[in-house]
Amino acid sequence: MAFVVSSGELATTGAGVLPAYAPATFRAQPWEYETIWRTQPQVRTVIGFIARNIAQLGVHVFRRISDTDRERLRDHPLAHLLDEPLPRMTQYRFIERIVSDRALYDNFYGIKLKLDGRLRILPVPPTLIRPYGGNWIAPEYYETAGGRQFGVDEVIHIHGYSPTDMTYGESPIESLRDLILESSEAAKSRAQMWKGGSRLTGVLVRPADAPEWEAKDRRRFREMWRTFSQGGGAEGGTPILEDGMDYKPVGFNPEQAQYIEARKLDREEVAAAYYIPPPLIGILDHATYSNIKEQHAHLYQDTLGPWTVDLQQEFAAQILPDLPDNRDVYCEFNVESKMRGDFESQAAAASTATGGPWMTRNEIRARNNLPRVEGGDELIVPLNVTEGGLASPRDTAPEPGDGAPKAGGLPRKKASGRPSTLGTFDSERDALESTLVAFTERQADALLTDAGAKADGDGADMPDLLALWAKGSEDRLAQLQALLSHHGYRLAQVGAWGVLDVYNPEAENWSAEVMLAWILAAAETHAAQHEEAGRAAVAKVQEEGGDGWREALQSAAAAWGSAAAARARTAATETRSFGGHDAASASGLTKKIWRTGGKNPRPSHRAQDGESVSLDDVFSNGLRWPGDGQGRTEELVNCNCELDYEEG
């Protein structure tokens, strides 16, 4: 472990400013690379693209605790060093310089400094430092342009591949040298052409039988033509060709010079040297929406992935050993934030990974560099997997032919037809009711078991029932939402097809997928309300206490089961009504009519039987449709009313 102790005086490193510094032992001339970067826009564009996209990722530091657990280290010396390599130097500028030096020279040099008791890194331009001595395996030391020598332990040297030795890398610019030279010469030629304005390079031809000119005529015509040509055809006026003279163009015109095509070719060749797909740097000749989207998805895997892995390993090999507390510590570029899909894709992947019977929550959290949570090592087996015989919680939706729910907010389209697996409203409602009641009873039994296990004997003190309840609350909510959204999607389709079969059999402009966002939100609301009903019942038992707490808890559990049946019927009416309303809107219907149903309807519902309002309006009881969750509770529970629709 070696440092340069500088105490703020960075000039003591001896890295003097000598732009032409390039030791004779270098195979290439580094200052040429600098000139190329300054003067060739295609090279600068490609290198800037790589450096900026990697620099904006950010670097996180972790400690590996086990194969399935790790901890984010925000106060570790490596995290502080990468956040501020030098005073007032940001992590972005530091990473940008490393990547830019690697891309341009295939070498990055940094001198380790000890400033105010902390390790710092001073990036040194490759034109100002070189490896010296040693052999083809490792140099003896490093020497700066100012003549200062540094030991191998005092310098960070990140380099690429060279076919001749292992002490430094060979710049990709070398493979582009001929192309860049050709491009430079072509640019000079084009500049001369544009400098001449509209004047074309060519010769004047006089007919063979034209009269001979005298000396004064030659001088007169020569001066006239010189004035015209030197003025670029703009200031010299229009030339007058005498005696049947003709102008014969010679050389390339601007169109033949293919200026734009040549610039594109240069950029494509430079991009190919750095393994970058052309559409990512603005060459869109063969680009489509799909292939650009796909290339962006693979940007941080195939294009920039090798760069990030290389830097992570170099930091671990050349910086981490010089820092304290480095056991099981490593760093990673935050590529995960760029690799994640949109919200719907992330939700689908996360629910499959954490909800299925093959991966625990702590395992998926470890993959995302998140710390473990209490109780996260147990597999969650969703209700649909245990009862429906399905392989994954993503199978809660029907098959694609049945209009499987996808991302909400999709544009409407023609539906493929009523799914053959849909039952009647009564059968689908009964399925929801039996499933929700069974789920509730199992959860209540589990609570009773846990509470009994916490107490010894009939006269034992009551345990902390609310703590027992809270222990499984998160899992219950997740399973409740999955259960309610699955059945709600089917019930909404039943309601929709009840309208479509009458007014729009071809289901033009309607798509079941569009309803999914609302159904998921409704399922979340019903799940939270059902969970709160159970918690409130338990809280009441906890508050009353006493020797009869066991019987009170059993009564509360039974009441929660009864509430589940009412909840299912209310949710079924709401989702069916919403589905019909959505289909009516897509079908161009403009009026809705309240139809009171059930054996003993509420007086308010009986009174509004036959009430008609516009499709976007609310009825006199404030509801948009029977079971509308935005209404008062007394207007919703056990409601069996329906809607009819009419055209304008």
Mean pLDDT of 226-246: 68
Which distant-in-sequence residues (6+ apart) come within 8 Å of 319 by Cβ?
Answer: 78, 81, 119, 121, 156
Residues 602 and 494 in one domain: no
pLDDT greater than 80 at residue 634: no
Let me know if 105 is exposed, middle or buried by CB neighbors in 10 A (0-12, 13-18, 19+). buried
∠ Cα 326 328 330 (to 5°):
80
| pLDDT band for position 553 (cuts 50, 70, 90) | confident
Residue range 254-259: average pLDDT? 51
Above pLDDT 70, what percent of the chain?
A: 74
Most confident of 194-208, 478-492, 631-645: 478-492
pLDDT at 472: 79
Q: What is the pLDDT of residues 58-83, one digit of tens each?
A: 999 999 998 888 999 999 999 999 99
Give the dihedral of Cα atoms 439, 435, 584, 614; nearest 10 deg.
-60
**End position of a domain, from candidates 560, 585, 610:** 585
**CA-based nearest residue to 640, from 607, 581, 599:** 599
> What single-letter amino acid sits at 231?
G
Give residue 456's pLDDT band: very low, low, confident or very high (50, 70, 90): very low
**Backbone angles phi and psi of 591, in degrees to 5:** -130, 145
Q: Choose one of 585, 606, 630: the last residue of a domain.
A: 585
96 in any annotated domain: yes
Task: Characterize the bridge pairing of strands 612-614 and 591-595.
Answer: antiparallel
Verify that 100 and 187 share a domain, yes or no: no
pLDDT of 35 strictly over 60: yes
Confidence of residue 648 (pLDDT cuts 50, 70, 90): low
Contact predicate 447/591, CB 8 Å? no
Dihedral sign for Cα atoms in the order 261, 262, 263, 268: positive
149 sits in which H/E element: strand 149-150
Query: How confident is the model over 478-487, as pLDDT tens digits?
Result: 888 888 989 9
**Is it the case that residue 15 has pLDDT exceeding 80?**
no
Residues 6+ apart with CB under 8 A from 530: 436, 440, 480, 563, 564, 567
pLDDT for 27 equals 43
Q: In sequence order, what are the residues at sequence separation of 6 or more whose Cβ sits closer than 8 angstroms to the Cβ of residue 563?
A: 440, 530, 533, 534
Q: Which pair of structure tokens corresponds to residue 351?
A: 């629910």
Distance of alpha carbon 31 from alpha carbon 171, whole angstroms: 12
Whether residue 115 has pLDDT greater than 50: yes
Q: For the chain, how many structural domains are there in total?
A: 4
> Is residue 232 pLDDT above 80, yes or no?
no
Residue 463 has pLDDT above 50, yes or no: yes
**How much is the pLDDT for 31?**
59
Note whether residue 23 is domain-resident.
yes
545 and 526 in one domain? yes
Instruction: Say whether both 624 and 568 belong to one domain.
Output: no
Mean pLDDT along residues 522-546? 87
Whether residue 231 is found in the same domain as residue 86: no
Nearest to 484 by CA among 445, 528, 537: 528
285 pLDDT more than 80? no
Helix (H, G, I), strand (E, B) or coil at 588: coil
> Taking the model in full, what pTM does it have?
0.48
Instruction: Label the pairing between strands 107-115 and 4-5.
Output: parallel
Q: What pLDDT score does 59 carry?
A: 93
Mean pLDDT, range 199-225, rounded to an integer: 80
Question: Do 472 and 601 reside in the same domain of the chain?
Answer: no
Q: Are residues 13 and 108 in the same domain?
A: yes
How much is the pLDDT for 383? 55
Give the residue with greater pLDDT, 597 vs 54.
Answer: 54
Query: Do 142 and 286 belong to one domain?
Result: yes
Q: Has residue 623 got a pLDDT over 50?
A: yes
What does the pLDDT average to over 448-472? 72
Same domain, 567 and 606: no
User: Which whole number is the average pLDDT over 547-554?
Assistant: 83
Among 429, 432, 575, 410, smallest CA distance to 492 is for 575
**Pair 141, 184 in one domain:** no
Is pLDDT above 70 for 237?
no
pLDDT of residue 418: 74
Would you say residue 524 lies in a domain?
A: yes
Q: Is residue 368 part of a domain?
A: no
Is 146 within a domain?
A: yes
pLDDT the model gives residue 302:
79
Examine the fold and report which residue of 193, 223, 249 is the final residue of a domain before the chain moves on: 249
Token pair of 225, please? Answer: 């033509």
Across the range 214-236, mean pLDDT stands at 72
Could you read off the pLDDT of 135-176 as tens digits, one per residue?
A: 889 999 999 988 899 999 999 999 999 998 888 898 888 888
pLDDT of 22 > 80? The answer is no
**Chain segment 493-503, per-residue pLDDT in tens:** 998 988 888 88
In this structure, the answer to whether residues 131 and 271 fall within a common structural domain is yes
Residue 295 has pLDDT above 90, yes or no: no
CA distance 329 to 206: 85
Domain membership of residue 605 as a residue range: 589-648
DSSP labels, 210-277: SPPPPHHHHHHHHHHHHHHHHTTTTSS------TT-EEEE-S--TTTTTHHHHHHHHHHHHHHHTT--
Q: pLDDT tens digit string along 357-411?
A: 557 778 777 777 778 888 788 777 665 554 444 545 555 444 444 443 333 334 4
Specify if 222 maps to a domain: yes
The pair of three-digit structure tokens given for residue 357, joined into one six-digit string: 């019977």
- Mark whether 170 and 193 lie in a shared domain: no
- The torsion defined by the Cα of 495, 501, 502 and 505, in degrees rounded to 10, comes to 130
- What residues form DSSP beta bridges with 247? 204
Residue 441 and residue 534: Cα distance in Å, rounded? 11
Is residue 285 in some structural domain? yes
Q: How far apart are CA 599 and CA 638, in angstroms?
A: 11
Q: What is the mean pLDDT of the chain?
A: 78
How far is 6 from 178, CA to CA, in rounded Å? 43
Instruction: Give CA–CA dist 244/7, Å, rounded.
Output: 84
Q: Where are the beta strands (DSSP E) in 52-94?
A: 59-66, 69-72
d(CA 549, CA 452): 11
Q: How confident is the model over 533-547, as a mean pLDDT?
A: 86
Measured in whole angstroms, how far is the alpha carbon of residue 595 from the centre of its chain?
Answer: 48
Spatial distance between the Cα atoms of 531 and 525, rounded to a whole number of angstroms: 10
Query: What average pLDDT does range 528-557 have in this prediction?
Result: 86
pLDDT of residue 632: 73
The single-letter DSSP state of residue 342 is -
Contact between 577 and 491 (Cβ < 8 Å): no
Cα separation, 571 vs 487, in Å, equals 10
Q: pLDDT-derived band of residue 93, with 50, 70 and 90 as boundaries?
A: very high
Of 87-91, 214-218, 381-385, 552-556, the one with minimum mean pLDDT is: 381-385
pLDDT at 450: 82
Q: Is residue 370 situated within a structural domain? A: no
